[in-house]
Amino acid sequence: MNVGLVILAAGASSRMGTPKQILPIFGKPMIIHLIDEAFKTNCHPVTVVLGANKEKIVPVLEGIPVTLVDNPFWASGMGSSVRMGLVGSYLLTKGIEALIFITSDMPYVNADLLNEMIKLAESNDDKTIVATKYAGTLGIPVLFKKPHFEEILELNGQFGAKQIIEKHKSKVLELAFENGKTDLDTKEDYYEFLQSKN
């Protein structure tokens, strides 16, 4: 199965006070860590959707073979970035059969998780979504097969991937990912994460 991967990194990091996409985790900027994990899979292309703070993030990505997509509508919500990620990926690789969407603030997303999502998708033809489950909810990281691409293109700003997951629950495969509840939104989140690694 030809699977692309989209990293949603357009947010303003307003609660963090600094672009969280470039904060160091595991010895490298968070966005680089996620890209490195994506490169350990067969996902192609790897697309990064940028918006706010792009002038600070782009230099960090120089020389790395990812596709950068600018989302001028980032302030309208995550739905616009999901949509732009699909458009950017599809322009590059017409044969994409599925897309994985991840956000740039989930430090525990790794190649093992992404490969497990792909494996589940490949071995279950009748299911068209693989969604991770944590804190009692289904969400991102999520894999959508091609039948959902049209719906993704219709997303507006305030509604993201969860809307599609909720609408098609009978088509969803769940993958437990308890570490998914860790996302680095605030300085407190970040320092707590760093302390847990010491």
Specify the length of the chain in residues.
198
- Residue 161's CB is within 10 A of a number of other CB atoms, namely 24
Sign of CA dihedral 135, 137, 139, 145: positive
Q: Give the C-alpha separation, 65 to 98, whole Å.
A: 20
Q: What residues contact 173, with CB distance under 8 A and at least 6 apart? A: 120, 121, 124, 127, 129, 130, 131
Give per-residue pLDDT as tens, 77-105: 889 999 999 999 977 777 899 999 999 99
Q: Kindly tell me the number of DSSP H helices and DSSP E strands found in the chain.
A: 7, 9
Give per-residue pLDDT as tens, 30-70: 999 999 999 999 999 999 999 999 999 999 999 999 999 99
pTM summary value: 0.95
Which residues on adjacent β-strands are paired with residue 36?
Answer: none
Q: How far is CA 136 from the centre of its chain?
A: 19
Give per-residue pLDDT as tens, 99-135: 999 999 999 999 999 999 999 999 999 999 999 999 9
Pick the CATH number of 3-197 from 3.90.180.10, 3.90.550.10, 3.60.15.10, 3.30.70.20: 3.90.550.10
